[in-house]
Copies of this chain bind each other. A is one copy, B any other.
């Protein structure tokens, strides 16, 4: 039988058993078989020799703003309000357009793949343009169109955005790679009416709700002052958690809020780098785990993070949690890798399709080199992934059964073209900002 890809001799990370050397047959976008002697059984169009390599599910990044690529490192080490109002919002107001989003999104998607991300859950504007870039590069995405009470991008009001989401949902419903989602920006930018409309639309279309929540203490205090309820309680009072919900950040939750999320199978996208860097704060996730809240990992946008390395994100999160809890055993390496893969898949209600290496699942797989000084010796691949390795070692990326990065070179796009475009926008943004 002819198949698309055969991965041979890789150290395969299946979460239900010990890492084992094995082969994977991939065809029609899916994992057809995992086993020995597959090279005899199948004739593959592409054979990837994964000797001395880890073969694992791709990372699922559950909170991003992919088209903010060109704002990476534009302004740092500043108070949040100054950063937003004096730097980010002015350039967004000036530059945000369909063309800009298309270009910036392909840059962001390229950077995601370089970091082993095979699916991302985005929140931004002009999702149709992002979708075009997503399909071009071949990554999997859930594209949350931002909903706010005031005019943004090319929308005059939230109702226009809801109409747009309906249209996009319809346009991409047969896409193998793209889902749309409703992304009310936050409880401080969306009033009750638009939060409820967002939720109703998501339920009607059976799509995800994606919201920033409890990112700062200020947000929590303001919510209590205004509604008498904490943010999760407030959203719960609106029936917000009836569908599939990802709340991003969520570092200021009390136990009752954790209970609400757990009870509703809602998920948290942890964004440790961004939270620390902007000094939004941090929280121990021990109680979240004990309450059974599903955790996943987000990178946030590169304007605040400023990179898309999931390996850095899980390393940072694991280490910080150990210190915060005065307990080096919390969030061990294997659990962190699960949170960043199947945890993310669960958050997006896609754990039947992606997030682990299983026969019948979509082939979203990354291959990590261990035949290098940084990875040797290796006693435990999970430990190395979380504590020792970096994206440099992620060599090949397969998404939906197609190879999109081979030996760190992107397959479907010209990297130099992307770099030149970034430089072009950089010049324009610097001119606008009068940076000399």
Chain A residues bordering chain B, tally (CB within 8 A): 72
Q: Does A371 contact B (CB under 8 A)?
A: yes
Among A29-37, A128-136, A317-325, the stretch that binds chain B is: A317-325
Contact status A376-B277, CB under 8 Å: no
Shortest Cβ distance from A75 into B: residue? B379
Contact status B107-A277, CB under 8 Å: no
Contact status B328-A430, CB under 8 Å: no
Shortest Cβ distance from A319 into B: residue? B276
Among A93-101, A175-183, A259-267, A300-308, the stretch that binds chain B is: A300-308
A384 surroundings in chain B (CB, below 8 A): 73, 306
Q: Which of B77, B320, B328 contacts A80 (CB 8 A)?
A: B328
With most chain B CB atoms within 10 A of its CB, the pick from A70, A73, A387 is A73
Contact status A383-B73, CB under 8 Å: yes
Q: Does A333 contact B (CB under 8 A)?
A: yes
Given A306-B387, A329-B77, A388-B306: A371 touches B419 (CB 8 Å cut-off): yes
Contact status A305-B377, CB under 8 Å: no
Shortest Cβ distance from A425 into B: residue? B377
Q: Does A406 contact B (CB under 8 A)?
A: no
Q: Does A242 contact B (CB under 8 A)?
A: no
A425 to chain B, nearest CB (A): 6
9 nearest interchain CB pairs?
A: A377-B426, A392-B392, A276-B319, A376-B422, A77-B332, A276-B323, A306-B387, A73-B383, A279-B328
A387 surroundings in chain B (CB, below 8 A): 73, 76, 277, 305-307
